Amino acid sequence: MLKVLVLCTGNSCRSQIAEGYLRHFGKGDLEVYSAGIETHGVNPRAIQVMKEDGVDISRHTSNHVDEYGDIKFDWVITVCDNAKENCPYFPGDVKRLHHNFPDPAKATGNEEQILNSFRSTRDLIKEYSRDLVANTFK
């Protein structure tokens, strides 16, 4: 079974959403983790917009990348530039991917505008995750 780590800055939004979708599309064929260079807690809006799309991430936890030092990952995916620049070394034959998604936690405006920013990022990550499972993780 492939072991995949999704890494971003705070492990609160983008990496949590990606973990949820990779698990969803991987249908048990992937062992998926997410972590951050820091930990900010799982953002309630990320939980909400994922629930709207039928994926429950409410039991996810915000984890620091150092917690996974003993796991031999096959893939490390960074989902923001900061994580890519600060990604620690992982020993072994680890394949790396990077895609910088917009950070919905930085959205401003009223609640609906902020949620729409979360939905937009969610939809981008959903398509990226679906494509990875279908075409990369074979």
Any idea which residues carry the catalytic annotation? 8, 80, 87
Please state, as a whole number, how many other Cβ atoms lie within 10 Å of the Cβ of residue 78: 24
Distance CA 28, CA 30 (A): 6
Report how far apart, in Å, the C-alpha atoms of 44 and of each of 17, 41, 50, 104, 110 are: 12, 9, 10, 12, 16
